[in-house]
């Protein structure tokens, strides 16, 4: 059974420096990431994996969701669902359940994620890890290509990062990357825009803003995301679907980033169209 152990992770990842890390710092990190509460969730859902694990976690957190908009009939599974990323964790778990609700368990929906999330063992069966900071391994590239060439629906957060407070105080994604557009064209998959309601705590956004103002490049506010999961306990979220966008209408090459920006705009207009 998977368990989170901050001390063990530090020993493995930084063996030469671990002995210089004071015990209070390790205990502080354990509290910040809610290690005990996370391990309780993992233990309670130890027999589950994939969407079943996600469903077990959101049940334990008393989280509910509803679907709105142009909900797909589930017949065409060769699609790419692109969503905003407001929560940084819980939204992914909910969307994994939503994909199963809409397309069926047998559809075996996959989720493109940062490969750093590979440590979440129960979700590995549905994850397609992408290395955002280095070279992609051949095995990883082949697995992603097989998924897009296959028949399973694929979910993506094109921003690649959790939403931040933008200019004017609006909570929104960073610019979207072009991967969804490029893959839609190459694999002949239509794109379904999806809007996920919800926000993190004001502390999270203030922390992220302060880090940015200090000129720190490493997104240290990410250590706060486990806490944000538990702050959403008992919440209800709305998942709004837009009309499918044909891959034939998309433009690749130099225009791929502009197309990604257009998709982002469409997603943020969806709640106004309900």
135: in domain: yes
pLDDT tens digits for 173-182?
999 999 999 9
- Residue 111's pLDDT is 96
Residue 148 lies in a domain: yes
Q: Residue 94: give its domain's CATH number.
A: 3.40.1130.10
In a domain, 224, yes or no: yes
CA atoms within 13 A on the CB side of 92: 24
85: tokens are: 């990323």
- Write out pLDDT tens, residues 30-63: 999 999 999 999 999 999 999 999 999 999 999 9
Tell me what pLDDT residue 173 has: 97
Q: Considering the domain boundaries, does residue 7 fall inside one?
A: no
Q: How confident is the model at residue 168 (pLDDT cuts 50, 70, 90)?
A: confident
Q: Is residue 160 part of a domain?
A: yes
In a domain, 228, yes or no: yes
Containing structural domain, residue 92: 52-273
How many domains are contained in the chain?
1
Is 2 a domain residue? Answer: no
Full DSSP string of the chain: -----HHHHHHHH-TTTGGGS-HHHHHHHHHHTTHHHHHHHHHHTTT--THHHHHHHHHHTT-EEEEEES---S----EEEEE--SSSSHHHHHHHHHHHHHH-GGG--EEEEEGGGGG-GGGGGGEEEE-SSSPPPHHHHHHHHHHHHSSS-EEE-TT-S--EE-GGG-EEPPPPPSHHHHHHHHHT-EEEEEEE-----HHHHHHHHHHHHTT--S-GGGGGHHHHHHHTTT-EEEEEE---B-GGG---GGGHHHHHHHHHHHHHHGGGG-
pLDDT tens-digit readout, 194-228: 999 999 999 999 999 999 888 888 888 999 999 99
- Indicate whether 43 belongs to any domain: no
Residue-wise pLDDT tens digits, 69-95:
999 999 999 999 999 999 999 999 999
């Amino acid at each position: 059974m998977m368990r989170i152990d901050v001390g063990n992770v530090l020993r493995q990842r930084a063996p030469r420096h671990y002995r210089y890390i004071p015990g209070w710092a390790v205990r502080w990190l354990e509290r910040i990431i809610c290690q005990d509460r996370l391990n309780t969730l993992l233990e309670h859902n130890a027999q589950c994996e994939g969407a079943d694990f996600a469903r077990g976690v959101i049940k334990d957190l008393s989280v509910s969701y509803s679907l709105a908009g142009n909900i797909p009939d589930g017949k065409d599974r060769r699609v790419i669902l692109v969503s905003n990323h407001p929560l940084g964790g819980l939204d992914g778990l909910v969307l994994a359940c939503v994909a199963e609700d809409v397309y069926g368990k047998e559809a075996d929906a996959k989720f493109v994620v940062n490969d750093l999330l590979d440590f979440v063992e129960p979700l590995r069966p549905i994850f397609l890890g992408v290395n955002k900071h280095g070279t992609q391994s051949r095995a990883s590239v082949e697995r992603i290509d097989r998924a897009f060439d296959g028949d399973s629906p694929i979910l993506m957060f094109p921003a690649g990062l959790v939403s931040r407070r933008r200019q004017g105080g609006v909570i929104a994604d960073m610019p979207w990357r072009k991967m969804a557009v490029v893959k839609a064209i190459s694999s002949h998959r239509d794109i379904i825009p999806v809007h996920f309601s919800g926000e993190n705590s004001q502390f999270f956004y203030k922390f992220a803003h302060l880090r940015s103002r200090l000129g720190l490049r490493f997104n240290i506010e990410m250590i706060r995301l486990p806490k944000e999961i538990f702050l959403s306990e008992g919440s209800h979220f709305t998942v709004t679907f837009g009309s499918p966008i044909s891959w034939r209408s998309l433009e690749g090459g130099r225009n791929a980033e502009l197309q990604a920006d257009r998709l982002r705009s469409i997603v943020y207009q969806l709640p106004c169209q309900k």
